[in-house]
């Protein structure tokens, strides 16, 4: 609102409170000079309700809060009170008139009857009631009173409208009447409120000889007035309606003028409006239709440098530039016209105020475009910094690799923030260890707008001097700014020659920020500037610290992952076989490829068994990480132990299945989150004497067999359930392998992934095997070169075993009858065979071993008894019998005659043991060759 001008020409402003709420916007020139509120400000008055067209709705505005509403309510109440007062006055007047009329009529009737001829004579007659009752009733009906009662001086009735009450005492006051006076009184009788009069009947000498009472109810007298009351009420209602309509019209006009605001709201709105008008960062001028300046807020005073008495003067007389003054005096519409006012470029917008019935004149707004450009530049810089921080959250830490994360930080900051960026980390961080601030740093990442900057290259080891900015940043944990490198002696002391080259190259300032992750200091990041002449300011240092803080979290995560990964890889490698045992039954080649990420539970083993046999085992533990690797080690150790019992493959898998079940139960009891259920295993035993391979598998992919002619097949091996499920038996398959065949065992990572079914993988493996070389080593190389998977998402274990057979001239066997005398024949036959093999040095010990084993078989075993001697890497002696009873080694006492046979066998042989067959058992002993 434009306030009236004082005598000095300055606008008078009502001071606002100590903490005024923001005022509503006002459109200058609004009707009646009142502000138009467009939205509710915090702490300001509530928004008024609007009907279509923006005009305030009468029903809502007359609710009592606005000035118009209060006026309307006040006037309606006044009119209503007047109507009620008139009605009450009318009723009271009617009641008064009715009472007065009843009194007059009752007195007149009573006096007329008392003075009527014959009344005194009737009172003296013997039967007054017979005379007076008919007369009284006739008079009552003629005068339209409710009763006429004649009584003697004692108050005994002679007449009454109800005959049964004749002879009874009169109810009322009669003492004054006995004294010769007329008495009137208002009572409530059996017929309602009434007025009754008592007059005396006097004799000629003035003595009272009787009394006459007449009465009439006020209802009977006031009936006419009651009939007039509805007419009065209707007239009052009509007057109230007319008064309300008139009040509403007056209030509606007042409503338009006050815009539905209450007194407190109007006061507060004007105070807020005045405060906002003079506090906005935009100049506001209101000019009258004759060019007189009506209002100028504080910002307009500042931008135009107006004199103190500017308001009330013509705009052409204010000392403004001609073009600016001409625009303000012209009253024309202008939009963002730029005018030079001293050293400012002002954007002026001007509109007229006489639209929609407003007062004539114009309102102009002024904006300093010079300041706006500066603010816009700062806003753009802030927006760029926010975008950079957002990009840092997305682009830094995309991989769990320490070096790559450091490179991502350097790539993000160049050239958006710095011209060159270097990242130096402690050596322990790169390997996943705990960093030590006292150790040297390694240059991990370098990036810049050019590649020939004379900064330390990647992989350079740097030992910082204490005066360098990087060393100070590491020591204090805070960013260190070096605004002028050419004058920074502490930085130059790091490397005088290189420092001179850096300055000569044009790099003039840097900010060094420590890489901190919690309490750990991982390294330092240096931001170098060469293109922009100004050094890093405070805001840029804060941005550098924020960038480095976000990168530090990602680098620390990568460091932790590297540590865990290295631990898991170390554990896995320690659990896998480092060297394959020596044996002549199979030519072994293998490959183990860990997954690109994580450590799996794939494993394999080659286990020499008795009788020149060899066991091949390959398995897989579901999952990745330390848990899978540790479980794999437990299963591998269990297989080693179970294989020492020389069990068939199906029995060994059954024991392994039971072990995995117990592991699962232990994990569940401890509340672990990684059960082992789902481990798979394939176990095969190859006998080079019979060339028979016995295979059993527990949920593992089937083996592949390459025949000597190069053809490939996948033999039918019953697929048992994965280890740990329990309850189902395992079955074996016997394969007779020709010499020169290659048995291929593998884990599912070779043939299966998320995008390919296992059947497709098996066909690809078949193709790779058909095109591979002839030897196991060439086969492994050919399979992996074909790379059935582009990127290993799981571990891959591959074993290729080329079969060999033990030559017939290296096998000697005899059937032994169940006669102790046959032991000597066995010794003789073995001696001759050893002589043919050139093993005469082993004749004595071999004879002793076979003598003891055959004697035990004859004595404790059962027929048939069979002896076999194998000339392999060791000399193997085997004795077969049909008994399943196994002998036990024990120490014989000095007085015992026997019991020293197995003890001698154990002392003379390198290894010995028992294995069971479907037909019985085999006791074997091995001796090293000379």
How deeply is 889 buried, as exposed, middle or buried, from its count of CB atoms within 10 A (0-12, 13-18, 19+)? exposed
Reported as a pLDDT band with limits 50, 70 and 90, residue 390 is confident
pLDDT digits (tens, 9 = 90+) for 430-489: 888 888 777 789 999 999 999 999 999 999 999 899 999 999 999 998 999 999 999 999
| Residue 426, helix vs strand vs coil | strand
Please give the Cα distance from 709 to 223 (Å, whole number).
138
Contact 803, 844 (CB under 8 A): no
Out of 50-54, 704-708, 781-785, the most confident range is 704-708
Please give the Cα distance from 709 to 833 (Å, whole number).
36
Please give the Cα distance from 768 to 774 (Å, whole number).
12
Quote the pLDDT of residue 15.
Answer: 38
Contact 631, 679 (CB under 8 A): yes
pLDDT digits (tens, 9 = 90+) for 151-168: 988 888 888 888 888 888
Closest Cα partner for 748 from 713, 698, 705? 698
Checking phi first, is residue 928 left (phi over 0); if not, alpha (psi -120 to 50) or beta? beta
Quote the pLDDT of residue 203.
Answer: 85
Quote the pLDDT of residue 511.
Answer: 94
Name which of 178-182, 354-358, 675-679, 772-776 the model is least confident about.
675-679
Q: What does pTM read for this prediction?
A: 0.52
Structure tokens that stand for 585 in this block? 């039954």
Residues 324-339, mean pLDDT to the nearest whole number? 85
pLDDT digits (tens, 9 = 90+) for 623-635: 776 777 778 888 8
| Residue 843, helix vs strand vs coil | helix
Label the pairing between strands 704-706 and 509-517: unpaired
Contact 41, 22 (CB under 8 A): yes
SS (H, E, C) 89-120: HHHHHHHHHHHHHHHHHHHHHHHHHHCCCCHH
Contact 479, 511 (CB under 8 A): yes
Residue 415, pLDDT above cutoff 80: yes
Residues 524-552, mean pLDDT to the nearest whole number? 90
| Residue 912, helix vs strand vs coil | strand
Label the pairing between strands 719-720 and 692-698: parallel
Quote the pLDDT of residue 54.
Answer: 41
| Residue 893, helix vs strand vs coil | coil
Structure tokens that stand for 307 in this block? 């004199």
ω before 864 within 30° of 0 (cis)? yes
pLDDT digits (tens, 9 = 90+) for 186-245: 888 777 788 888 999 888 888 888 898 888 887 776 655 566 667 777 777 787 787 777
Quote the pLDDT of residue 877.
Answer: 93
Closest Cα partner for 629 from 558, 570, 561? 570
Residue 687, pLDDT above cutoff 50: yes
pLDDT digits (tens, 9 = 90+) for 844-853: 998 888 888 8
Please give the Cα distance from 130 to 725 (Å, whole number).
131
Residue 517, pLDDT above cutoff 60: yes
Residue 45, pLDDT above cutoff 90: no
In Å, how far are 82, 350, 642, 815 from 286, measured between CA atoms?
A: 48, 10, 103, 131
On average, the pLDDT of the chain sits at: 81
Residue 29, pLDDT above cutoff 60: no
Residues with Cβ < 8 Å from 535, sequence gap 6 or more?
481, 483, 484, 508, 509, 529
Please give the Cα distance from 843 to 857 (Å, whole number).
21
Label the pairing between strands 911-917 and 920-928: antiparallel
Quote the pLDDT of residue 381.
Answer: 66
ω before 415 within 30° of 0 (cis)? yes
Quote the pLDDT of residue 33.
Answer: 39
Quote the pLDDT of residue 589.
Answer: 92
With a pLDDT cut of 70, the percent of the chain lying above it is 84
Name which of 101-110, 507-516, 687-696, 839-848 the model is least confident about.
101-110
Please give the Cα distance from 412 to 800 (Å, whole number).
48
Burial 48-84 (b: 16+ CB within 10 A, else e): beeeeeeebebeebbeebbbbbbbbeebbeebeeebe
What number of other Cβ atoms are within 10 A of residue 413's Cβ? 25
Please report which helix (H) or strand (E) contains residue 238, including its range: helix 218-258
Residue 35, pLDDT above cutoff 70: no
Residue 891, pLDDT above cutoff 60: no
Structure tokens that stand for 343 in this block? 């050293």
pLDDT digits (tens, 9 = 90+) for 47-74: 444 433 444 444 544 455 566 666 777 7
Residues 104-132, mean pLDDT to the nearest whole number? 85
pLDDT digits (tens, 9 = 90+) for 790-837: 555 678 889 999 999 999 999 999 998 888 888 888 889 999 999 999
pLDDT digits (tens, 9 = 90+) for 862-887: 788 899 999 999 999 999 988 877 66
Out of 265-274, 321-330, 350-359, 747-756, the most confident range is 321-330
Reported as a pLDDT band with limits 50, 70 and 90, residue 515 is very high
Structure tokens that stand for 459 in this block? 């992989």
Quote the pLDDT of residue 21.
Answer: 39
Higher pLDDT, 570 or 161: 161
Residues 761-770, mean pLDDT to the nearest whole number? 88
pLDDT digits (tens, 9 = 90+) for 341-381: 877 778 888 888 877 666 788 899 888 776 555 555 566 66
pLDDT digits (tens, 9 = 90+) for 164-190: 888 888 888 888 888 888 888 888 877
């Amino acid at each position: 609102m434009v306030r009236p001008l004082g005598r000095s020409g300055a606008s008078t402003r009502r001071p606002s409170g100590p903490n005024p709420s923001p005022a509503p916007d006002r459109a200058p020139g609004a009707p009646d000079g009142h502000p138009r509120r467009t939205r509710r400000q915090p702490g300001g008055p509530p928004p008024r309700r609007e009907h279509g067209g923006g005009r305030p709705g009468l029903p809502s505005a007359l609710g009592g809060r606005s000035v118009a509403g209060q006026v309307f309510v006040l006037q309606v109440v006044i009119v209503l009170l007047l109507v009620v007062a008139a009605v009450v006055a009318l009723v009271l007047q009617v009641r008064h008139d009715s009472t007065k009329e009843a009194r007059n009529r009752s007195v007149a009737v009573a006096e007329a009857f008392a003075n009527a001829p014959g009344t005194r004579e009737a009172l003296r007659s013997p039967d007054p009631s017979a005379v007076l009752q008919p007369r009284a009733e006739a008079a009552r009906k003629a005068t339209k009173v409710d009763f006429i009662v004649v009584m003697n001086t004692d108050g005994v009735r002679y007449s009454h409208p109800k005959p049964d009450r004749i002879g009874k005492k009169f109810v009322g006051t009669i003492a004054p009447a006995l004294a010769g006076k007329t008495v009137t009184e208002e009572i409530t009788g059996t017929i309602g409120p009434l007025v009754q009069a008592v007059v005396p009947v006097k004799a000629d000498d003035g003595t009272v000889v009787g009394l006459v009472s007449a009465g009439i109810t006020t209802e009977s007298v006031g009936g006419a007035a009651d009939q007039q009351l509805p007419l009065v009420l209707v007239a009052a209602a009509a007057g109230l309606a007319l008064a309300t309509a008139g009040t509403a019209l007056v209030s509606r006009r007042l409503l338009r003028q006050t815009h539905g605001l209450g007194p407190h709201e109007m006061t507060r709105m004007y105070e807020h409006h005045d405060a906002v008008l003079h506090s906005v960062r935009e100049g506001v001028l209101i000019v009258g239709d004759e060019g007189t300046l009506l209002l100028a807020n504080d910002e307009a005073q500042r931008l135009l440098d107006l004199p103190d008495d500017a308001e009330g003067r013509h705009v052409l007389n204010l000392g403004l530039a001609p073009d600016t003054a001409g625009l303000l005096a012209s009253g024309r519409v202008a939009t963002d016209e730029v005018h030079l006012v001293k050293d400012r470029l002002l954007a002026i917008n001007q509109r007229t105020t006489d639209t929609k019935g407003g007062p004539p004149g114009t309102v102009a707004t002024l904006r300093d475009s010079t300041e706006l450009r500066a603010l816009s530049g700062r806003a753009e810089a802030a927006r760029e910094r926010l975008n950079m921080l957002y990009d840092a959250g997305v682009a830094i830490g995309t991989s769990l690799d320490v070096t790559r994360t450091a490179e991502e930080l350097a790539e993000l900051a160049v050239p958006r923030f710095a011209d060159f960026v270097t990242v130096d980390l402690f050596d322990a961080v790169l390997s996943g260890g705990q960093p030590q601030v006292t150790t040297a740093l390694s240059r991990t990442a370098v990036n810049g707008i050019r590649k020939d900057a004379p900064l330390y290259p990647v992989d350079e080891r740097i030992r910082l001097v204490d005066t360098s900015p990087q060393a100070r940043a590491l020591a204090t944990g805070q960013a260190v700014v070096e605004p002028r490198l050419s004058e920074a002696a502490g930085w130059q002391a790091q490397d005088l020659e290189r420092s001179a080259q850096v300055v000569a190259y044009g790099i003039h300032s840097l900010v060094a920020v420590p890489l901190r992750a919690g309490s750990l200091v991982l390294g330092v990041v240096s931001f170098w500037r060469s293109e922009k002449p100004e050094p890093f300011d405070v805001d840029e240092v804060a941005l550098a610290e924020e960038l480095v803080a976000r990168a530090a979290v990602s680098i620390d995560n990568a460091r932790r992952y590297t540590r865990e990964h290295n631990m898991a890889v170390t554990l896995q490698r320690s659990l896998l076989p480092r060297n394959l045992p020596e044996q002549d039954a199979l030519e072994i080649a293998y490959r183990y490829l860990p997954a690109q990420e994580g450590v799996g539970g794939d494993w394999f083993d080659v286990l020499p068994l008795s009788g020149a046999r060899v066991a091949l085992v390959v398995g897989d533990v579901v999952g990745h990480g330390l848990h899978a690797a540790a479980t794999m080690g437990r299963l591998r150790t269990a297989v080693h132990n179970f294989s020492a019992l020389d069990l068939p493959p199906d029995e060994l898998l059954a024991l392994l299945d039971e072990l995995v079940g117990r592991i699962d139960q232990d994990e569940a009891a401890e509340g672990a989150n990684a059960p082992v259920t789902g481990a798979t295993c394939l176990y095969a035993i190859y006998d080079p004497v019979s060339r028979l391979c016995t295979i059993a598998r527990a949920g593992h992919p089937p083996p592949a067999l390459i025949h000597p002619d190069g053809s490939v097949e996948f033999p039918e091996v019953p697929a048992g359930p994965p280890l740990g499920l329990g309850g189902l038996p395992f079955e074996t398959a016997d394969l007779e392998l020709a010499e020169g065949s290659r048995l291929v065992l593998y884990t599912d990572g070779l043939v299966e992934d998320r995008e390919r079914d296992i059947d497709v993988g098996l066909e690809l493996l078949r193709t790779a095997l058909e095109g591979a070389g002839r030897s196991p080593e060439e086969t492994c190389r050919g399979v992996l070169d074909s790379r059935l998977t582009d990127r290993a998402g799981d571990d891959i274990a591959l074993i290729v075993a080329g079969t060999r057979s033990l030559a017939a001239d290296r096998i000697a066997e005899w059937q032994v009858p169940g006669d102790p005398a046959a032991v000597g024949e066995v010794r003789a036959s073995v001696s001759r065979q050893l002589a043919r093999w050139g093993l005469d040095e082993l004749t004595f010990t071999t004879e002793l071993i076979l003598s003891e084993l055959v004697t035990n078989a004859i004595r404790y075993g059962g027929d048939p008894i069979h002896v076999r001697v194998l000339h392999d890497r060791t000399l193997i002696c085997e004795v077969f019998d049909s008994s399943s009873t196994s002998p036990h080694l024990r120490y014989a006492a000095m007085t015992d005659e026997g019991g020293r046979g197995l003890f001698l066998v154990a002392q003379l042989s390198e290894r010995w043991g028992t294995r069971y067959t479907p037909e019985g058992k085999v006791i074997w002993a091995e001796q090293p060759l000379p």
